Amino acid sequence: MKRAIVLALVLAPAPVLAYEFIQRGGNSMRWPNAAIDYYQEVTAAPAGIPAVVDQAFDTWDLLPSITVSFTKVGQQAGGLNRGFTADGVNVVSYGDANAELPTGVLAATVDFDAGTHGCPDGTCSTITESDIVFNDGVDFTDSEGASLSAGCIPQVTGRFDAEAVALHEIGHLLGLQHPAGQTYETAIMFPSISDCDPNRTNPRQDDIDGVTFMYSSGTAAAYPGFTVGQPMGYPPHTVSFTDTSTGSITSYDWDFGDGGTSTATDPTHEFTAVGSYTVRLTLNGTTSSEVNDAVVVVARPEPDFSADVVAGDPPLTVNFSNSTPNATQLDFSWSFGDGGTSIQRNATHTYDAVGYYTVQLEADAGPGPITMTKTKYIKVGNPAEETLIPGCECRVAHRRPSLGSALLALAALALVRRRR
């Protein structure tokens, strides 16, 4: 049956496998037993990192679709071989007593192989031991999101995420190789791990498919996934989440990152406070998908402005001063009322025609514009007045008399009186 599946994959029109296995003599390498013991040799381990590595083992371990499980047998400093020593013990070590790892190598895994002995159907090659070495010259203190908060510039921090590295290396320990392509989204075993991938510490569907193919428990794998309806907004911000998970699912547990939770399939949640929220969906109590910054709620802008002059004869040049708080973090759009616009923070505009002009300033912190409107804020020349007539939904335009027209009227009045 396995042979048939392999053939189907190879001969299928889509030429690229989304997962691949480490090969030995033309056979895929795999563990013969379900239980894999490992040690941590922590002589040169940075503080806190062994616990993160344990967490990565747990992440693989908790996949319900596979039979393989990991047991940590011990953690010690000294008494175990560091590096890639064939001693029958699976060891994760930090630094390398034999200095095998040059600068630039973050970590490496070596699987030891005993040929096809112990392989159930003779088509695999048995892994008898696997050692993982982290380079002790590397700073592995980058927790999830640290590089993201630095603007998502890869390696900007010069630090690396130990959990992402461990998850990738444990994938090799299980027999997974770097795939040549991807079916769904970037897998943890993909040849490039992005600092900017907020979900880089979770096995993806391609990874899970790979290990499930090799170590299937007979339980259909559940793959968590969801989309966020409105990822950004002003408080209170209501967000709808749509489940895109696949596989056999018996329960949903949503954690919205602000203390709120839900067990609905497609929940809606209101975020009341400004912040960046990591949302996690756990399926069947075990398999999780977490998205950092899944929802970002930003403070509502309060746009405001003034002008150095609000009235005058044409051409009238007006300098508008933007007094919106936190203006450097916002995008602006001006509308000057005569068809003119600007996206400058502070704007200058010249009015050529007589009239009243309503000025608008839009401020956008990301989710959308908030508008401040000042009606008939600028008066150029002597425009026609508009008067509201009580009881009438209409306006009457009239001109305020100028000095010349008033003098003319007085002269006409005097002439009429003299004729009388």
Partner 1 sequence: MRRFLVAALLLIGVPAAHATLLQRFEIEDLARHSEAVAVVRVLEVKAAWEDDAMIRTRVRLGVERVIAGRAPREVTVVIAGGTVGEASATVGGMPAFAAGERMVVFLEPRKSGGMHVVGAFQGAFRLVTEAETGMPLAVREAAKGAAFYGVEEEDDGARSLYLDELEARVREVRR
Two structure tokens written together for 76: 């010690």
Q: Which is nearer to partner 1, 113 or 206 (CB)?
A: 113
Single out the residue of 126, 201, 289, 292 in contact with partner 1 (rule: CB under 8 A). 126
Q: Which is nearer to partner 1, 81 or 216 (CB)?
A: 81
| Region of residue 146 (left: phi > 0; alpha: psi -120 to 50; beta: else) | alpha
Give yes or no for a contact between 377 and 307, defined as CB atoms under 8 angstroms apart: yes
Q: Which is nearer to partner 1, 93 or 360 (CB)?
A: 93
Measured between alpha carbons, how far is residue 182 from residues 188, 193, 199 in Å?
Answer: 11, 13, 16
Give yes or no for a contact between 238 and 256, defined as CB atoms under 8 angstroms apart: no
Measured CA to CA, the distance from residue 343 to residue 347 in angstroms comes to 8
Q: Which of 299, 307, 308 is nearest to 326 (CA)?
A: 299
Single out the residue of 13, 15, 104, 391 in contact with partner 1 (rule: CB under 8 A). 104
Least distance between partner 1 and beta carbon 98 (Å): 6
Single out the residue of 54, 113, 290, 293 in contact with partner 1 (rule: CB under 8 A). 113
**Bridge partners for 270 per DSSP:** 238
Single out the residue of 31, 38, 60, 190 in contact with partner 1 (rule: CB under 8 A). 190
Give the count of beta carbons closer than 10 Å to the beta carbon of residue 223.
21
Does position 116 interact with partner 1 (CB under 8 A)? The reply is no
Give yes or no for a contact between 26 and 190, defined as CB atoms under 8 angstroms apart: no
**Bridge partners for 295 per DSSP:** 277
For partner 1, what does the binding mask look like between residues 55 and 94, x meaning CB under 8 A?
--------------------------x-xxxxxx------
Q: Which is nearer to partner 1, 22 or 361 (CB)?
A: 22
Q: Which is nearer to partner 1, 86 or 388 (CB)?
A: 86
Residue with tokens 């398999």: 287
Does position 283 interact with partner 1 (CB under 8 A)? The reply is no
Least distance between partner 1 and beta carbon 165 (Å): 6
**Bridge partners for 238 per DSSP:** 270
Least distance between partner 1 and beta carbon 14 (Å): 17
Residue with tokens 């690396």: 160
Q: Which is nearer to partner 1, 81 or 282 (CB)?
A: 81
Give yes or no for a contact between 295 and 257, defined as CB atoms under 8 angstroms apart: yes
Single out the residue of 138, 211, 214, 359 in contact with partner 1 (rule: CB under 8 A). 138
Give yes or no for a contact between 308 and 318, defined as CB atoms under 8 angstroms apart: yes
Q: Which stretch binds partner 1 (CB under 8 A): 147-155, 213-221, 287-295, 353-361?
A: 147-155
Secondary structure (3-state) at 335: strand
Number of residues that bind partner 1 (CB under 8 A): 54
Does position 192 interact with partner 1 (CB under 8 A)? The reply is yes
Which of the 8 DSSP states describes residue 142?
-
Give the count of beta carbons closer than 10 Å to the beta carbon of residue 406.
10
Single out the residue of 144, 169, 206, 362 in contact with partner 1 (rule: CB under 8 A). 169
Q: Which stretch binds partner 1 (CB under 8 A): 40-48, 63-71, 109-117, 223-231?
A: 109-117
Does position 279 interact with partner 1 (CB under 8 A)? The reply is no
Q: Judging by beta carbons within 10 Å of its beta carbon (0-12, 13-18, 19+), is residue 7 exposed, middle or buried?
A: exposed
Least distance between partner 1 and beta carbon 132 (Å): 10
Measured CA to CA, the distance from residue 246 to residue 225 in angstroms comes to 8
Contacts of partner 1 in 6-45 (CB under 8 A): 22-24, 29
Does position 112 interact with partner 1 (CB under 8 A)? The reply is yes
Does position 160 interact with partner 1 (CB under 8 A)? The reply is yes
Single out the residue of 30, 172, 269, 280 in contact with partner 1 (rule: CB under 8 A). 172
Q: Which stretch binds partner 1 (CB under 8 A): 186-194, 222-230, 331-339, 372-380?
A: 186-194
Q: Which is nearer to partner 1, 128 or 284 (CB)?
A: 128
- Residue 168's H or E segment, with its range, is helix 162-174
Q: Which residues have CB under 8 Å from 32's CB, separation 6+?
A: 118, 119, 120, 126, 127
Query: What is the binding site for partner 1 (CB under 8 A)?
Result: 22-24, 29, 81, 83-88, 98-115, 125-129, 138, 147, 154-155, 160, 164-165, 168-169, 172, 177-178, 189-196
